[in-house]
Chain A
Amino acid sequence: MKITAKQYAKALFESVSAAPSDKVGEVVKNFCRALKANNQTSQLGKIIGQFEQIWDKKNNIVKAEIISALKLNSETEKIIEQYLKKTVGAKEIELSRKVDKNILGGVIIKYGDRILDESLRTRLAEFSQTLKG
């Protein structure tokens, strides 16, 4: 049976967290050897992605992305971070920022697989829909 990237990532996560901190390097090395022996090195990118997901989930870290029309000041960012911490209940929020003039105004916040669309463009599109109907 084929071992999926997710299964590899899970195995790696479990062995890493079980190992004492000075042995982690060795565990990872062994893991890479096992991958090579199974001819699965091409899956490495996917495994890293899955590993990150598992790591974030276990450590209660949520990745969030803020898309705004203009660069936000740190105060606003803090408010958003606080809001996210409260709604998601996460210990830590890993924020990434993106500036996109196309959304005209407001912000779009993405976290986990949720999206909160508070952009002016979406609002206008919705409004034009209500005018039509």
Chain B
Amino acid sequence: MEKENKKISNGVNNTKDFIVEQIKEQISGFKAEAEEKTFGQVTEVGDGIARVSGLSDAMMSEMLEFKTASGPAYGVVLNLEEDSVGAIILGDASSIKEGDEVIALKRILEVPVGDELVGRVVNPLGKALDGKGDLKTKKSYPIEKIAPGVIARESVNQPVQTGIKAVDAMIPIGRGQRELIIGDRQIGKTAIAIDAIINQKGQHMKCIYVAIGQKESKVASIVARLEKFGAMKYTTVVMAGASDPAPLLYIAPYAGCAMAEYFLDKGEDVLIIYDDLSKHAVSYREVSLLLRRPPGREAFPGDVFYLHSRLLERACKLNKDYGGGSITALPLIETQAGDVSAYIPTNVISITDGQIYLESDLFYKGNRPAINAGLSVSRVGNKAQIKAMKKVAGRMRLEAAQYRELEAFAQFGSDLDKETKEKLERGRRMIEVLKQDQYVPMPVGQQVVIFFALISGFLDNVPVEKVKDFEAGLLEYVQDVNSDLVKEIEKTGELTESEEKKLEKTIKDYKDTLDYLESDKVKSS
């Protein structure tokens, strides 16, 4: 009682006392234990790597502290040799000199993780780059972690809605899947990834965008875009820019994955984008060659497959007993002149659960996103697709691929039978529907409506050049007249027969208001 009275009467003094008490407690709780540590000396330094003699007990990927004249610098052990270790230096290597003392810290490199990271731009070591002040995280995770095993996993069963019609219809992605986005430079790989992030609003998904070796101007514009669409509220950007040393680029995706694993452990779903892994492989090649590891094909070291497989294996869908979280990974690979048979592309294709293949021919023809339906696959995602979408888009990938073939074939002959002609007409409209501008992801309910109109043949007498207008108009009309329908489809994920009938009627009503439809007579002549 006395204490309480005192608190009320003398609040200021009491808080002071409280702080003093707390510090006292901390002092008494502080255990001074001198740990025996191994130390060594820098024998060689340069290009972001250092060779250190001594350090007899050093572990693989152990953290090292370089004691330099201008404060400590940190590194990671990457090579263990007979009487020296090779280490990569994280951050500024210019202050490290030959003969400097190095202490092994007996722990693996860790990065700060936590909810504080959401909405921020950080470097691979978790330092803020966006000028919004230091991060006050409480936890840190090791950057290298063994991926969850079979016991902890379950098969993919929930969709990731990317909001891109072509992807959601033909190459569906499930939560916990690894889907590669592959294509030449400048044909919209990043655009797909960014659209996918933007569409995650309200889908209970945390996003992490890892920029590896990207121009800082590009990353800045991406962050500005995400901010504009309100996507930074659930997104973390991990940036290792083009001017950062190779070791930072090398650890960037692992650091991003560690940040994702924090949310995974909380049972949340995470979408992580590695943009891009070709540059990551190149930075690893640089580090490896400097460490004098023997080069193999295309001068990459022997373990370049393991480099990516261990990273992508950490993408997973955990079952209920393990929290039920997931990490969906979208790695990007840049090809040179469409060559998918180069070393790194084939490696990553074989690791992932499918790929979205972007083609420059399609891009320049104006089919954007320039997804090649024939070469793109999703090996597990169709299990996660919602039923309504499955119903309307089930055969679309095949039909799109067939149309491409027919189109090439039809260029030679003029006499085509009616069936082929119809297929061509339908295909032309389908391609038109699949075209989509950047930064306008479409909710899945609306996608179902437009695909339903397409496969039910309602678009057959709409002129090809008017398909875009028709689509926009129809969606607006459905929104005005029958907005519950779209909501219902999104909620239940199903398209029942009664809903189908309603939809049919709505589309017919809408078509009655149009004046640009081709009459059947014109079409057949």
Contact = CB atoms under 8 A, between A and B. Distances in A.
A113 B39 contact: yes
A115 B83 CA distance: 18
A127 B39 contact: no
Given A130-B26, A131-B26, A113 B32 contact: no
A64 to B, nearest CB: 13
Contacts of A6: 83
Interface in A89-133: 110, 112-118, 123, 126-127, 130-131
Contact of A115 (B23, B30, B38, B56): B38
B37 interface: yes
B34 interface: yes
Contact of B103 (A115, A126, A127): A115
Given A130-B26, A130-B30, A131-B23, A116 B38 contact: no
Contact of B40 (A113, A117, A130): A113
A110 B39 contact: yes
A46 to B, nearest CB: 11
Nearest to B55: A113
Nearest to B39: A115
Contacts of A113: 38-40, 54-56
A110 B30 CA distance: 25
Contacts of B39: 110, 113-115
Contacts of A117: 34-35, 37
A118 B36 CA distance: 10
A15 to B, nearest CB: 22
Nearest to A113: B54
A99 B374 CA distance: 75
B34 A114 contact: no
A118 B34 contact: yes
Nearest to A127: B30
Contacts of A112: 56
Contacts of B56: 112-113
B30 A114 contact: no
A115 B36 contact: yes
A110 B54 CA distance: 12
Q: Which interface residue of A115, A118, A123 has the most chain B CB atoms within 10 A? A: A115
User: In the complex, which of the residues A112, A114, A118, A123 has the most CB atoms of chain B within 10 Å of its own CB atom?
Assistant: A114
A89 B514 CA distance: 96
A116 B36 contact: yes
Contacts of B36: 114-116
Nearest to B40: A113
B319 to A, nearest CB: 34
Nearest to A123: B32
B26 A115 contact: no
Nearest to A126: B32
B64 to A, nearest CB: 13
A123 B31 CA distance: 10
A133 to B, nearest CB: 8
A116 B39 CA distance: 10
A77 to B, nearest CB: 18
Interface string B10-50: 00000000000001001100101011111110000000000
Interface in A22-40: none
Interface of A: 6, 110, 112-118, 123, 126-127, 130-131
13 contacts: A110-B39, A113-B38, A113-B54, A113-B55, A113-B56, A115-B36, A115-B38, A116-B36, A127-B27, A127-B30, A130-B26, A131-B23, A131-B26
Given A114-B36, A117-B35, 15 more contacts: A110-B39, A113-B56, A114-B37, A114-B38, A114-B39, A115-B37, A115-B38, A115-B103, A116-B34, A116-B36, A123-B32, A127-B27, A127-B30, A130-B30, A131-B26
Report the 3 A-B pairs with minimum CB-CB distance, sorted nearest first. Answer: A113-B54, A115-B39, A118-B34
